[in-house]
């Protein structure tokens, strides 16, 4: 009897409907009067600053370690794997630390995707992007200030298209990479999954960081990986060389286009699943 009751309870629980939270208003002027809004902006600024500082230092340090004029060991330095771990690991740490304050975006493409999905208002989305870009500029500025000779000598950590690849190939790499990241963000933060599985909110930073890690493994040899427009913009502003600007201009447009495509694909898949399995 007790077992039947338990099964019935589980059946009732699994059949409960779940309603998505209401969409964020397009314009929410009331946000401007709330301290939590400005605290979120500060969190995005600091998180992006730290992200750029650590990752750009890693890139420059690696180039210094494999410089044939300084080191004859071709296998010296952290290598491609180490750079990818630096990017993915920092995203994991920073998303975990800031998720409860700002949502842990740290990427204008992610913010833009969440805006299209009506998860954040237009005001919050624009201000987040501004804070992220300013944080990126300041983070790279700190790198240049502390290690100016290395910074200039080894390219400032700016994204540049590798020799042997054309811009079409670079676009393709960035399209797929940004899609993987934004789609993972939507899947990891889906409120329906959070309601069903209590451990999902705690583990959400892990798949996001791992997605960043995997995308960097695939695209660093092609474009240096520009799936984060703030990272590319901040490095280009401080380094300020023509090639850094020329190579990233078309890529940033595609980052935002792929954010749109990720939103459409995720919610189309979500709606189709609801039609086939309405109680899941």
**Which residue matches tokens 């500029």?**
137
pLDDT tens digits along 110-136: 998 888 888 899 999 999 999 999 999
pLDDT at 161 over 50: yes
Instruction: Name which of 4-8, 45-49, 97-101, 225-229 the model is least confident about.
Output: 4-8
Both tokens assigned to 149: 């000779």
181 closest CA partner among 113, 97, 249, 115 = 113
In angstroms, the CA 143 to CA 145 distance is 5
Both tokens assigned to 77: 């330095």
CA angle 15, 190, 262 (to 5 degrees): 125
pLDDT at 98 over 90: yes
In angstroms, the CA 235 to CA 48 distance is 12
CA distances from 57 to 103, 109, 179, 195, 262 (A): 26, 23, 26, 39, 31
**Which residue matches tokens 């975990």?**
96
pLDDT at 255 over 60: no
Q: Give percent of the chain with pLDDT exceeding 90.
A: 36
Contact 113, 185 (CB under 8 A): yes
In angstroms, the CA 64 to CA 37 distance is 41
Where are the chain's structural domains? 37-276
In angstroms, the CA 107 to CA 115 distance is 12
The crossing angle, in degrees rounded to 10, of helices 229-239 and 122-146 is 40
Both tokens assigned to 272: 């189709």
Query: Hey, how many other C-beta atoms are within 10 angstroms of the C-beta on 167?
Result: 14
Q: How far is CA 129 from the centre of its chain?
A: 12
Q: What is the pLDDT of residue 265?
A: 54
pLDDT tens digits along 180-226: 998 898 888 877 766 565 555 568 899 999 999 999 999 999 988 88
In angstroms, the CA 213 to CA 207 distance is 10
pLDDT at 151 over 70: yes
CB neighbours of 128 closer than 8 A, spacing ≥ 6? 40, 41, 44, 102, 105, 108, 111, 120
Instruction: Name which of 58-72, 111-125, 145-159, 220-234 the model is least confident about.
Output: 58-72
Q: What is the DSSP letter of 26?
A: S
pLDDT at 252 over 70: no
Q: Which helix (H) or strand (E) holds 75?
A: none
Instruction: Name which of 9-18, 115-124, 151-160, 177-186 the model is least confident about.
Output: 9-18
**Which residue matches tokens 């069903």?**
196
Q: What is the pLDDT of residue 170?
A: 84
Contact 28, 117 (CB under 8 A): no
pLDDT at 66 over 90: no
Architecture per CATH, domain 37-276, reads as Up-down Bundle (1.20)
């Amino acid at each position: 009897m007790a077992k039947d009751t338990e099964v019935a309870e589980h059946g009732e629980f699994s059949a409960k409907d779940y309603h998505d939270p209401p969409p964020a208003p397009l314009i929410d002027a009331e946000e401007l009067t709330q301290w939590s809004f400005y605290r979120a902006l500060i969190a995005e600024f600091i998180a992006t600053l730290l992200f750029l500082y650590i990752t750009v230092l890693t890139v420059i340090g690696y180039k210094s370690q494999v410089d044939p004029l300084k080191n004859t060991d071709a296998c010296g330095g952290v290598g491609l794997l180490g750079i990818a771990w630096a990017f993915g690991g920092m995203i994991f740490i920073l998303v975990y630390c800031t998720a409860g304050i700002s949502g842990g975006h740290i990427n204008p493409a992610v913010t833009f995707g969440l805006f299209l999905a009506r998860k954040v208002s237009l005001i919050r989305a624009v201000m987040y992007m501004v804070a992220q870009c300013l944080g990126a500029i300041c983070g790279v500025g700190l790198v240049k200030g502390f290690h100016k000779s290395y910074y200039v000598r080894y390219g400032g950590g700016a994204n540049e298209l590798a020799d042997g690849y054309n811009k079409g190939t670079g676009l393709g790499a960035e399209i797929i990479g940004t899609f993987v990241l934004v789609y993972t963000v939507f899947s990891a933060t889906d409120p329906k999954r959070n309601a069903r599985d209590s451990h999902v909110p705690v583990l959400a930073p892990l798949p996001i960081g791992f997605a960043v890690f995997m995308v960097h493994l695939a695209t660093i040899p092609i474009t240096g990986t520009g799936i984060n427009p703030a990272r590319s913009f901040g490095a280009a502003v401080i380094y300020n060389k023509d090639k850094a600007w020329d190579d990233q201009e078309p890529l940033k447009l595609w980052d935002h286009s792929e954010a749109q495509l990720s939103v459409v694909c995720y919610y189309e898949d979500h709606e189709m699943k609801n039609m086939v399995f309405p109680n899941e």
